[in-house]
Each structure stands twice: as C-alpha cells, then as structure tokens.
Amino acid sequence: MTTAPAESTRPVSTLPAAFWKPNPFAQPRPSRRHAIGFWLAGYVFAITIAFSTAPAPLYVLYQVRDHFGALPVTIIFSAYAFGVVASLFLVGHVSDWLGRRRILAVPIAVNMAAGLVFLRWAGIFGLLIGRILSGISVGMLTATATAYLSELHAAARPGASRRRAEMVAAAASLGGLGLGPLIAGFLAQYADAPLRLPYYVFEALMLAALVALGMTPETVRPEPWRSYHPQRISVPPAARPTLYAAGAAVAAAFALFGLFTSLAPGLIAGTLHDRSHALAGTATFVVFGAAALAQIATSRAAPRLQLGLGLGLLALGLIGVTMAIWDPNLRLLLACGGLAGAGSGAVFKGSISVVMDIAPAYARGEVLAGLFLAAYLGLAVPVLGLGLATQAFSTRGALLGFSAALAAVIFVVAGRLLGTREARLPGGENLAVDVTVPRQRQPPAARRNTPA
C-alpha cells in the first residue's frame, strides 16, 4: 500500500464534500505563520502580565504622596489578587469556545484602562480600582495565553515536543512578572515624572501588543454561544489529600511572590535605608526571574524532584531573607530572594505536574482550577496578614512570624508530597497514570482546535 501525497488530502472538486475523507497517513505541515504567531503571542503574554507588577517599586512614592502606611499597600495588593481569582473562575475559560485572540484582546484593553486610572485618579481609591482592573486582566490572560502558546506551537511544529511551548510560557509569565517592576523601577529612578512615565511606556507597549495580536492566527474555531457557567472546581475524593497538600505548597510559593511585589520595596527603603526605586524593581525581578529559570531548568525532572528541590530552596531562601531584614544586608536579601524565588518556581511547576498526574482526565480542568485558587489566595491572604501584623508589632517581628508560618506549611506539605508514592482510588486503581475516559464522561461540547 502506498501513501498518497499530501495534496490528495484536499477535496476533489468533482465530488461532494460530504464524500471526501482526509488521508489518515498524511502528516500536518509545519506552518511558518503559526511559528511567527507563537513568538508574537509570547510578547503579548509577557508585556500584558508585566504591567500587573509594574506598580511594585512605586508604592513607596505613593505612600509619600498619599500619606498611607504598609497596611493600605497590602489591602491594595490583595484587591489585585482577589480580582485575579474572580476573573479566573468567571471568564478564564471562555476562550475555549469564543476563540483565543478575541479573549486575549480584552485583558490588554482592561490593563490599558487600569493604566489610565493610575494616571488620572490620584489617591488610595484610584490605586485600589486600578489594581482590581489589573487583577481582572491577569485572570483572563493567564490560562488563555498559555493554551494559545501551546496550540500555536503544535501547529508550527506538528509532532514536536511541547517543551518549547512550556518554556516560553514560563518565561513569559514569571519572567514578565519580574520585568514589570524592573522597567518601572529604572524609569522612576532615572527619568522624570516617576508616577507617570512608567505608565506611558507600558501603554505604548500594550498598544503594540494589540497590533501583534492582530497578526497572529486563531487556533480555536469559534462556536455558537453555549450555556454559560463559571469554571467549576471539582476534586475526586481519592485525590483530595494530595491536592490539598499541593495547594498549600503553591500558596506558600505565591506568598513569597506576594511579599516581594507588595511590601519588599518598603522594607528595602525603611529597614535597609536604600530608597532606590531601581533597586526595589531589581529585587522583584530577581525573585521572578529566578522562578522562571528554575522552571526551565527543572522541566525534564520528575515532579517529586522538582518539589523536593523547590521546597528546600524556598525554605532556605526564606530564612536568608528574614536574616537580611533583621541584620540589614542588601546582598544577602537579593541572593536569598533569588534562592526563594527559584524554589517557588520549582514548587509551582512540580505541584501542577503532581495534580495533573492524580486527577482523572475528565476532571483535570476543575482540579487545576482548585490549585490556582489556592495559589492566588496564598498571594493575597498571608501578605494581608503581614500588613495587619505590622500595625501591632515591629516590621522585623511581623516578618519573623510570616516566615515561621510559611516554614511550618513547607514542613507539613513536604511530608505529604514527598512521603507518599502515589494516590489510589478506593478500588486500588492507580491515579498516577493517564486515565482513559469513555467519551460520555468527558465534558460536553469539547473544544475543537483548528489552525486558522
């Protein structure tokens, strides 16, 4: 039997389309258009999410301008995190049937609106509204952009490993989160109008992202509007103990991220007595940059190794950060911030891998939704608690309590995640393998991905 050439897979003009069947032996061809779109989508992802952390090194300036302390900073930051959670569960999944490009345009526009709020509305309430808008944008962006990168890569390189798409997604998300404070901090330090110029620059970069998005091909065939429902959170009973441990691990990792994007600039200025905005931005960049590099470096490692290495680095880095604040030492703060950031990145990646392994195929979306809920609650709640603690205790004492609580969480989840070989269903079926699910158990109206 000979394989027909790729051209024979097209409908013959003399036959009705209903009688045409594609050749099952034909291989999809690499698409240069999707290859270019892949890198454009990476830029869109990185720049849009970078804006969400750009205000981090500017909080010290806002505190002076609007006369508020550490607690309002944590409230403003927590509002951002809760905006992410709400958006993630309300609209983070609708691109599955409305199309990736159409949905990605919305978070860019919402973030640009947030930039205008920062520019035009002075005071705490303006910061609060701007951060909520930015959180809504990120909740819509993250899942959609990650799926879009994977689909563009699959169309650009049919049959290739997904590793490149995963690496670019990690670099764009965590690297972008670090890039925002770096750009804003250097602009605030070395250019005029420190509370205006960073937003003008990001408005221009996001406008360019909208143009870039218009040049990328769609990967999802839009479907008629179906009955809407928020993203579901569903956890199979046998997977719950491991999922709860993984959720606690990512909550601890994101609490470290929250510390460096909310209170760290104030700690550097007040405790280390260095008011450089460039330094504040660099400290945040070091944490997120190390997290992105750790995810890329451990991408081929087993989930158990990722978690073990990540939890160890996170604990060591957290101890070093606490020591650097108690006995002011800038170099130690930066080095241990990078160490903790690398651990957080590895913990996050390892936790996702573990959850993907234990969840049945028909419930993976719902289980991952629960993991992301834990992550963003970890981003908001511990930092908010730290802000409240600074009202009753010294900054150093509050940070010591924050670190001790996170260390306790790390110790408990390490015993659970590293001490259990595998999760099993009550009947003894191993959940650590890819479960083949009958079609009738899959969610209705499954997504149809077709390169445009």
Domains and CATH numbers, the chain: 29-217 (1.20.1250.20), 232-435 (1.20.1250.20)
pLDDT exceeds 90 at position 137: yes
CA–CA gap between residue 247 and residue 374 (Å, rounded) = 5
Percent of the chain predicted with pLDDT > 90: 39
pLDDT for the residue 420: 52
pLDDT exceeds 70 at position 380: yes
Which among 281, 294, 148 is positioned nearest to 218, based on CA atoms? Answer: 148
CA–CA gap between residue 104 and residue 131 (Å, rounded) = 19
CA–CA gap between residue 310 and residue 304 (Å, rounded) = 10
pLDDT band at 224 (very low <50, low <70, confident <90, very high): low
The residue that leads in pLDDT, 28 or 14, is 28
* Cβ-based neighbour number of residue 191 at 10 Å: 12
CA dihedral 308, 354, 231, 373 (to 10 degrees): -20
Worst-scoring range by mean pLDDT, 110-119, 200-209, 306-315, 319-328?
A: 319-328
pLDDT band at 320 (very low <50, low <70, confident <90, very high): very high
The residue that leads in pLDDT, 169 or 343, is 343
The residue that leads in pLDDT, 9 or 302, is 302
pLDDT for the residue 448: 44
Mean pLDDT of 209-233: 83
pLDDT for the residue 171: 87
pLDDT band at 28 (very low <50, low <70, confident <90, very high): low
The residue that leads in pLDDT, 438 or 209, is 209
- Provide the CB-side half-sphere exposure for 88 (13 A, CA): 24
The residue behind tokens 């065939």 is: 221
The residue that leads in pLDDT, 218 or 222, is 218
pLDDT for the residue 417: 86
**What's the token pair of residue 168?**
């670019």
The residue that leads in pLDDT, 207 or 438, is 207
pLDDT exceeds 70 at position 15: no
Which among 202, 132, 154, 141 is positioned nearest to 38, based on CA atoms? Answer: 154
Q: What is the pTM of this model?
A: 0.81
Mean pLDDT of 411-428: 64
3-state secondary structure string across the chain: CCCCCHHHHCCCCCCCHHHCCCCCCCCCCCCHHHHHHHHHHHHHHHHHHHHHHCCHHHHHHHHHHHCCCHHHHHHHHHHHHHHHHHHHHHCCCCHHHHCHHHHHHHHHHHHHHHHHHHHHCCCHHHHHHHHHHHHHHHHHHHHHHHHHHHHHHHHHCCCCCCHHHHHHHHHHHHHHHHHHHHHHHHHHHHCCCCCCHHHHHHHHHHHHHHHHHHCCCCCECCCCCCCCCCCCCCCCHHHHHHHHHHHHHHHHHHHHHHHHHHCHHHHHHHCCCCCCHHHHHHHHHHHHHHHHHHHHHCCCCCHHHHHHHHHHHHHHHHHHHHHHHHCCCHHHHHHHHHHHHHHHHHHHHHHHHHHHHHCCHHHHHHHHHHHHHHHHHHHHHHHHHHHHHHHHCCHHHHHHHHHHHHHHHHHHHHHHHHHCCCCECCCCCECCCCCCCCHHHCCCCCCCECCC
CA–CA gap between residue 315 and residue 336 (Å, rounded) = 10
pLDDT band at 444 (very low <50, low <70, confident <90, very high): very low
pLDDT band at 31 (very low <50, low <70, confident <90, very high): confident
Mean pLDDT of 75-81: 89
32 burial level (CB within 10 Å; 0-12, 13-18, 19+): exposed
pLDDT for the residue 132: 95
Average pLDDT, the chain: 82
pLDDT exceeds 60 at position 97: yes
Mean pLDDT of 3-24: 40
CA–CA gap between residue 421 and residue 428 (Å, rounded) = 14
